[in-house]
Amino acid sequence: MPAGEKQDILAAGGEALRKVHAELTDMLAQYKATGEAYVVMDDDDDHLPRVSAADVRSALQMVDDMFDVIDSYSAPPPPPPSDDMLDQ
């Protein structure tokens, strides 16, 4: 896969994760403020399932872990070993 295409995919994935992270953070703030939190499944859905703070925290942790994975792929590769390292 060309490097530019890989970066585009990682950028799109990172943007999607940022949106999810923001929604989950808002949901956790709602839970802390009211003791209740709901998740909207579809924009036209009238049924709002309740979620617990533990569910939200768990989902936030999962998103944070995904950010770590994306960051690890986005980081430049390590430099090749120097000649000094090869001589040892």
50 forms beta bridges with 38
38 forms beta bridges with 50
User: Can you give the pLDDT at residue 51?
Assistant: 66
User: Can you give the pLDDT at residue 87?
Assistant: 52
User: Can you give the pLDDT at residue 9?
Assistant: 80
The whole-angstrom distance between residue 34's C-alpha and the CA centroid of its chain comes to 25
User: Can you give the pLDDT at residue 43?
Assistant: 54
| Alpha carbon distance 67, 18 (integer Å) | 9
pLDDT tens for each residue of 20-73: 778 777 777 777 777 776 655 555 555 556 667 777 778 778 877 877 777 776
Q: What is the DSSP letter of 22?
A: H
Amino acid at 4: G
User: Can you give the pLDDT at residue 83?
Assistant: 61
